[in-house]
Amino acid sequence: MSVEITSGEDRYDIVVDGKPAGHLDTRTRTDAILFLHTEISDDFAGQGLAGKLVTAALDDVRAQGRSVLPYCPYVRSFIAKHREYEDLVPEDKRAEFEL
């Protein structure tokens, strides 16, 4: 299985074996990148692709030196389970996202 994750304007996409498998919608603000919605196609459900997509997106934000506001419930729960990404959420915003 070949997995490719790309980023575009306000979106990260995941492609499996050349087929679109899902996306993560974002909005860029001057102070942070808002993670709004994660979606994986039913054809690719249960393969751990959402986690791969969110990991790649969070790593990309870290590489940019930016912060994240996880409005997407999946991203919020992912960060809660993977505390190594909690520092990407500004400290004064963590309570708002129950982190």
Asked whether residue 65 is domain-assigned, the answer is yes
Number of domains, the chain: 1
Domain boundaries, position 42: 3-92
Any idea what the Cα angle at residue 81 is, between residues 71 and 9, rounded to 5°? Answer: 40
CATH number of the domain to which 85 belongs? 3.40.630.30
Asked whether residue 62 is domain-assigned, the answer is yes
Asked whether residue 44 is domain-assigned, the answer is yes
Q: Is pLDDT at 9 greater than 90 in this prediction? A: no
Asked whether residue 76 is domain-assigned, the answer is yes
Asked whether residue 68 is domain-assigned, the answer is yes
Give tens-digit pLDDT for 53-89.
999 999 999 999 999 999 999 999 999 999 999 999 9
Asked whether residue 73 is domain-assigned, the answer is yes
Asked whether residue 9 is domain-assigned, the answer is yes
Look over the chain and give the mean of its residue pLDDT values, rounded to a whole number.
96
The predicted pLDDT at position 31 comes to 84
Q: Which residue has the tokens 């860029």?
A: 28
Residue 81 Cα distances to 3, 20, 38, 40, 99, angstroms? 23, 26, 16, 19, 10
Asked whether residue 98 is domain-assigned, the answer is no
